[in-house]
Structure 1
């Protein structure tokens, strides 16, 4: 991708800057030679060119000064090789300043002179630099043409490392053009060569972009596999620019897979790195991606804030590719708020830019966006024309996401045009493509890739913790017994005057051990009751029923959600506190799982006030879930059709409150029933735990449960005052 090329260039520049001391010595050495050599000949030209190249990475003004002096001397003598190198260095300077057309002109002049002199290595370097300049100017066809010439020469003269780098850049060009098959072909060539030389930096770059080709083709598991390979190498080499790029791409993957919280977490981690590196292009890309996630969450206000920032930044560096991308996403936002006129303007602007830079992927969505606007405006003929263009492009470049969206829109357009046969065919094709993106293999493979790094460690950790808790309970119980016996003998043997003081010491010691024992026992009971055997048995029974009934897709979805919930519980049980976002994720998965087999399903709402940063608040795990489970098990009559459960988190006066309401029978009614008089074990444990944690955290904790009839409403309201800690921003 364009991002990776910029990252690679940035990394090279940083390496150059890091070696300033060594270069200073080299510069001083060349300057001394220049002072000693006063003759106006080829030797002096070479020394001036060497000084210009040495200053290229640190002082462009001085570099140009030495080039001018070299050029003046070249007017006096005939030295084609010296002139070629002078032009080449000047081209590098213009390219670094984004003067791409001027750079191409200089490289071509240098190329011509090197060809006359028969210097094939220099000729190969010139073609590569011309290719890069065209790439930065978004002329991918000419970029590929020149890179291929460089590769052919490099292979012929045995410069395989150079060939590998240029093959990778050809892959980048095809990737940005949306030709993913060709991109994979050239990236595989580059990977094979780089493996021979164990070139880790180049391999990680290739793996990252190979992941992006699979991402665009809808193969998320394979994309994630390549991203993990790339991230592992970048972390080993401590290449922060590379780490940032991969995190951004993983964010895109999770966004496409509708795991929005994971997407935003990866994007923001990437953005932190990119802000430190002051790299405008990469920062703009990440801002755009965050805007897209908010757009898909239908938070259009935040979406526009991030997208407008991304657009402004992209315009400041004339990054046409990302300008078009921002305009397309803004068009989608305006579609979401039913402002069709502004949406149309954004998609038309994006289409013109994508036509200019030859981006097939960008054109694919520009046409799709226009079709959506015309459909909203009931201009179905124009909508049909544009969606067919989008479908044709998405078919040719193999982008399943856009193919699916095109068929979905075609179904609506044909229906409105009265062509019901084509409407049905389009809808059926949409279903096939949608199922192919979220199919069984994708779900299982993504889960496997996520779990293989974490699941075994989480399971082992939970088992070890269970054993430790059991051992600690036994030890403390023995200590307690010994303490009682020792103090009993002590009391008997102590004189009457020492009884009071001895008793006080005994009670203090006894209470300390007792509190410790209660704490550990309570924690152990919570650990074991976090997912009750009753719930697990019911879940497995439901799953068995689905399998026996031949509901394959439904059973796969149910199993995926169930395993994810178990994984979250295992991870959360290792820690005394977890981020609030993890607790909410567990609740969300629990409710999704419950609704998969509920008839009728529960209407479930989770509200979090804006002043709560769910990434910064730390709370004890599994506090909220038992009360939701109570509502599901006891709150509703079997024949009640409309069932609501709402969770609302607020933060006022330094108190974190969680209010859980339902529209069931109400606590006064359910508590009078014979089968509900027994208090929930999980609720009791939670109450005990809150008392202990409130003291530990030095923050009040408590539970209030009341019937909503006093507010002229139906159901039960539970208010938890949750002990918390806040992670301080570094």
Structure 2
């Protein structure tokens, strides 16, 4: 008798799986940051919301629903059919994971409808795959295969190898469900080889899990136990609650088959206590069936009945025929044990009606076995024989050893009572052959070895620690026996301690000295950043006074606005070691405009490459302005016309570069001037600042000043390589 249909998990290549999950967590964090920054209601925000929904649909379904509801609402407001279709698809996937099949089907069909209107084959293909998975969940295997085949045909038309592999895997699961194990293994192994080649850890995990399920259905419990223990070991390492939940169930199932019912119940209850699994009602119904089965095995029929009834109610609520039939059959066997024959027959017949024409369902084996045993108990031997023969036929067709064994023992009993001793003997011999194959010594040995493999892995690190500790103890004992060597060792240790202390003191003295120098440099920088050229302020106020006296009200207001904004930004920036590039550019633009407002004596431009997001870059303040000021005050000396200053920012090789170009007298001519001090001071201080900042930021920072004469041009060119940070909200 088989009450349970569980999914057995197995993990292959642990390293790649860990990397993949860590990468997924980083991706979620990155998407959340992007969503927080991107507040515009456009298709980009829809994409972010859908991606977050898919990342959360397994371990946090309520959050996934919140994301997809917002994305669908926004897509409808934008009236973008492709995104409406995509949102409907994501919503269908999320609800399917929670076993809310009716809502999931509506959303997936709605997505297909929208994708069809724009002839989006990729979208239709993904929906077909999702519907195939959904009907597989429901146990409607024909509909599942139909959708898989239609989706696979589209994938082949598009030449999408990845999707073709997905369909091979999913169709393999259907073949396993209907008992065609050879086809199932062929499909799984094809996809597994591709996943190993591509180092796709999650793909390998899925394939190996499915192969494990096939082994379980074929009664190869040694392999199932191995995969269960591997799965639990890895799930605990990566703290995957759903993986732990499924591993607990699978280990409980194996202990149950070995008649270790208390151990089985222990693992089932641990699984039931995992909160994250409660979002999927289908998982809970399967688990309650398993717990009921353990109580049945322990002959606690009252508790078994209660759990079966709970499972039946939950299965009917979500339209889950697979777990529903399992629960009904289990309840039937429970009634049989308590001699409630009428109720037992009703249960087995009801289970048969659900899969009336689907002779590939393994649940039918339980139903026919239950009918045969119930009629036999009621002494209705002809009806018992009819159902026992049907059980034998289906068990042979699906190659299920346990049910074949039950069929032969039932046939033996029936023929013996009916007086057909020849047939009774034949069936009894078949029963012994299968019993021997299930309980041979080699199989038992493998199960025992693999059962402890998981324990050995958990104890490995402790064993290594004990070994290290034992080694230290042995060394300590040897030292006690050699007192002279012990004294020498003590002297060496004292010498080493004194040496280390001296080294530490010297290190901290040097460190304090460096910190003092850095602090002095920072104070000097703040002082330099906080001051503004008195000559510039005086000139600005004089110009403003002249404009007011001339009663140019509009111009004076404009001038005063720019002057006050520049003062405010300068004061604010003087308090911070880093400012947004956008703020620094505003300050520079205001400075240039004020210097030029009275008579527009020169032309200027500020160019920023499209690759630079000025709202995300943060740079040290007041690095650029001194060189612009120098160009205005000294570069255009004795030059009245055709004066031009260009400021260009570009991003190249992960370096933020600012190029300040003027067409003045040139740096060489300035050096011969009477007042070269300001230029020299700006260059010197900026160089010192950049040297300190380069160490702090661990990236290049420099300043170079060249005369354009060497390029057969007039003026000066200043190149700043500015250290920066990327702003994260």
TM superposition score category, shorter chain reference: 0.5 to 0.7
TM-score relative to the length of structure 1: 0.53
Q: 2:77 aligns with which of 46, 61, 69?
A: 69
Is this contact kept in 2: 1:104–1:133, CA < 8 A?
Answer: no
- Shift in Å at residue 214 of structure 1? 1.0
Tell me how many residue pairs correspond in the alignment.
447
Query: Match for residue 371 of structure 1?
Result: 372
Query: Match for residue 333 of structure 2?
Result: 332
2:291 pairs with 1:290 = yes
Query: Match for residue 106 of structure 1?
Result: 110
Query: Match for residue 342 of structure 2?
Result: 341
Query: Match for residue 435 of structure 1?
Result: 436
Matches within 5 A, 1:217-236: 217-236=218-237
Matches within 5 A, 1:564-643: none
Is this contact kept in 2: 1:367–1:387, CA < 8 A?
Answer: yes
TM-score relative to the length of structure 2: 0.54
Relative to structure 1, the CA distance from residue 125 to residue 358 in structure 2 (aligned partners, 3 Å threshold; closer, same or farther) is: farther
**Distance in 1 (alpha carbons) for counterparts of 2:95 and 2:307:** 32
**Distance in 2 (alpha carbons) for counterparts of 1:372 and 1:16:** 52
**Distance in 2 (alpha carbons) for counterparts of 1:13 and 1:144:** 31
Is this contact kept in 2: 1:274–1:282, CA < 8 A?
Answer: no
- Shift in Å at residue 110 of structure 1? 4.2
Is this contact kept in 2: 1:387–1:410, CA < 8 A?
Answer: yes
**Distance in 2 (alpha carbons) for counterparts of 1:288 and 1:93:** 25
Is this contact kept in 1: 2:10–2:228, CA < 8 A?
Answer: no
- Shift in Å at residue 451 of structure 1? 3.9
Matches within 5 A, 1:675-694: none
Q: CA offsets per residue over residues 569-588 of structure 1, 9 Å max, x none?
A: xxxxxxxxxxxxxxxxxxxx
**Distance in 2 (alpha carbons) for counterparts of 1:325 and 1:370:** 15
* SS in structure 1 of the partner of residue 259 of structure 2: coil
Query: Match for residue 309 of structure 1?
Result: 310
* SS in structure 2 of the partner of residue 298 of structure 1: coil
Relative to structure 1, the CA distance from residue 85 to residue 311 in structure 2 (aligned partners, 3 Å threshold; closer, same or farther) is: closer
**Distance in 1 (alpha carbons) for counterparts of 2:277 and 2:310:** 17
Query: Match for residue 324 of structure 2?
Result: 323
**Distance in 2 (alpha carbons) for counterparts of 1:457 and 1:303:** 34
Which sections of structure 2, spanning at least 5 residues, go unmatched? 12-19, 54-63, 481-729
* SS in structure 1 of the partner of residue 356 of structure 2: helix
Query: Match for residue 355 of structure 2?
Result: 354
Relative to structure 1, the CA distance from residue 68 to residue 451 in structure 2 (aligned partners, 3 Å threshold; closer, same or farther) is: closer
Query: Match for residue 180 of structure 2?
Result: 179
* SS in structure 2 of the partner of residue 360 of structure 1: coil
**Distance in 2 (alpha carbons) for counterparts of 1:298 and 1:143:** 38
Query: Match for residue 523 of structure 1?
Result: none
Q: CA offsets per residue over residues 313-365 of structure 1, 9 Å max, x none?
A: 33333322111111111111111122211111111122222337776110111
**Distance in 2 (alpha carbons) for counterparts of 1:129 and 1:276:** 21
Is this contact kept in 1: 2:5–2:286, CA < 8 A?
Answer: no
**Distance in 1 (alpha carbons) for counterparts of 2:195 and 2:69:** 36
2:208 pairs with 1:202 = no
**Distance in 1 (alpha carbons) for counterparts of 2:6 and 2:316:** 16
- Shift in Å at residue 95 of structure 1? 4.8
Relative to structure 1, the CA distance from residue 197 to residue 157 in structure 2 (aligned partners, 3 Å threshold; closer, same or farther) is: farther
**Distance in 2 (alpha carbons) for counterparts of 1:421 and 1:129:** 53
Relative to structure 1, the CA distance from residue 312 to residue 31 in structure 2 (aligned partners, 3 Å threshold; closer, same or farther) is: same
More RCO (CA 8 Å, sep 6+): 2
**Distance in 1 (alpha carbons) for counterparts of 2:219 and 2:382:** 30
**Distance in 2 (alpha carbons) for counterparts of 1:90 and 1:123:** 15
Relative to structure 1, the CA distance from residue 180 to residue 105 in structure 2 (aligned partners, 3 Å threshold; closer, same or farther) is: same
Is this contact kept in 2: 1:380–1:413, CA < 8 A?
Answer: yes
**Distance in 2 (alpha carbons) for counterparts of 1:201 and 1:288:** 28
Matches within 5 A, 1:532-543: none
Is this contact kept in 2: 1:108–1:130, CA < 8 A?
Answer: no
Is this contact kept in 2: 1:311–1:323, CA < 8 A?
Answer: yes
- Shift in Å at residue 277 of structure 1? 4.5
Is this contact kept in 2: 1:147–1:170, CA < 8 A?
Answer: yes
Is this contact kept in 2: 1:128–1:150, CA < 8 A?
Answer: yes
* SS in structure 2 of the partner of residue 355 of structure 1: coil
Is this contact kept in 2: 1:51–1:66, CA < 8 A?
Answer: no
- Shift in Å at residue 374 of structure 1? 0.9
* SS in structure 1 of the partner of residue 274 of structure 2: helix
Is this contact kept in 2: 1:287–1:306, CA < 8 A?
Answer: yes
2:137 pairs with 1:129 = no
**Distance in 2 (alpha carbons) for counterparts of 1:454 and 1:33:** 53
* SS in structure 1 of the partner of residue 101 of structure 2: coil
Relative to structure 1, the CA distance from residue 225 to residue 455 in structure 2 (aligned partners, 3 Å threshold; closer, same or farther) is: closer
Q: CA offsets per residue over residues 553-572 of structure 1, 9 Å max, x none?
A: xxxxxxxxxxxxxxxxxxxx
* SS in structure 2 of the partner of residue 32 of structure 1: coil
Matches within 5 A, 1:242-253: 242-253=243-254
- Shift in Å at residue 209 of structure 1? 2.9
Is this contact kept in 1: 2:226–2:451, CA < 8 A?
Answer: no
**Distance in 2 (alpha carbons) for counterparts of 1:30 and 1:2:** 46
Query: Match for residue 264 of structure 2?
Result: 263
**Distance in 1 (alpha carbons) for counterparts of 2:140 and 2:277:** 30
Is this contact kept in 2: 1:91–1:104, CA < 8 A?
Answer: yes
Is this contact kept in 2: 1:84–1:113, CA < 8 A?
Answer: no
Relative to structure 1, the CA distance from residue 229 to residue 455 in structure 2 (aligned partners, 3 Å threshold; closer, same or farther) is: closer
Relative to structure 1, the CA distance from residue 47 to residue 451 in structure 2 (aligned partners, 3 Å threshold; closer, same or farther) is: closer
Q: Which shifted more, 360-369 or 55-64?
A: 55-64
- Shift in Å at residue 289 of structure 1? 0.8
- Shift in Å at residue 442 of structure 1? 0.7
Is this contact kept in 1: 2:295–2:304, CA < 8 A?
Answer: yes
Is this contact kept in 1: 2:137–2:320, CA < 8 A?
Answer: no
- Shift in Å at residue 178 of structure 1? 3.5
Q: 1:32 aligns with which of 21, 40, 52?
A: 40
**Distance in 2 (alpha carbons) for counterparts of 1:453 and 1:26:** 42
- Shift in Å at residue 411 of structure 1? 0.9
**Distance in 1 (alpha carbons) for counterparts of 2:336 and 2:298:** 14
**Distance in 1 (alpha carbons) for counterparts of 2:7 and 2:454:** 26
* SS in structure 1 of the partner of residue 367 of structure 2: helix
Query: Match for residue 605 of structure 1?
Result: none
Query: Match for residue 447 of structure 2?
Result: 446
**Distance in 2 (alpha carbons) for counterparts of 1:457 and 1:32:** 50
**Distance in 1 (alpha carbons) for counterparts of 2:212 and 2:386:** 33
Query: Match for residue 545 of structure 1?
Result: none
Query: Match for residue 280 of structure 1?
Result: 281
Matches within 5 A, 1:341-490: 341-355=342-356, 360-452=361-453, 454=455
Query: Match for residue 576 of structure 1?
Result: none
Q: CA offsets per residue over residues 196-244 of structure 1, 9 Å max, x none?
A: 2333333333323322211121111122233334334433433221221
Is this contact kept in 2: 1:241–1:274, CA < 8 A?
Answer: no
Relative to structure 1, the CA distance from residue 330 to residue 267 in structure 2 (aligned partners, 3 Å threshold; closer, same or farther) is: same
Query: Match for residue 514 of structure 1?
Result: none
**Distance in 1 (alpha carbons) for counterparts of 2:137 and 2:21:** 17
Is this contact kept in 2: 1:211–1:225, CA < 8 A?
Answer: no
- Shift in Å at residue 412 of structure 1? 1.1
Is this contact kept in 1: 2:65–2:91, CA < 8 A?
Answer: no
Is this contact kept in 1: 2:245–2:277, CA < 8 A?
Answer: no
**Distance in 2 (alpha carbons) for counterparts of 1:120 and 1:66:** 24
**Distance in 2 (alpha carbons) for counterparts of 1:203 and 1:417:** 53
Relative to structure 1, the CA distance from residue 227 to residue 151 in structure 2 (aligned partners, 3 Å threshold; closer, same or farther) is: farther
**Distance in 1 (alpha carbons) for counterparts of 2:201 and 2:21:** 18
* SS in structure 2 of the partner of residue 385 of structure 1: helix
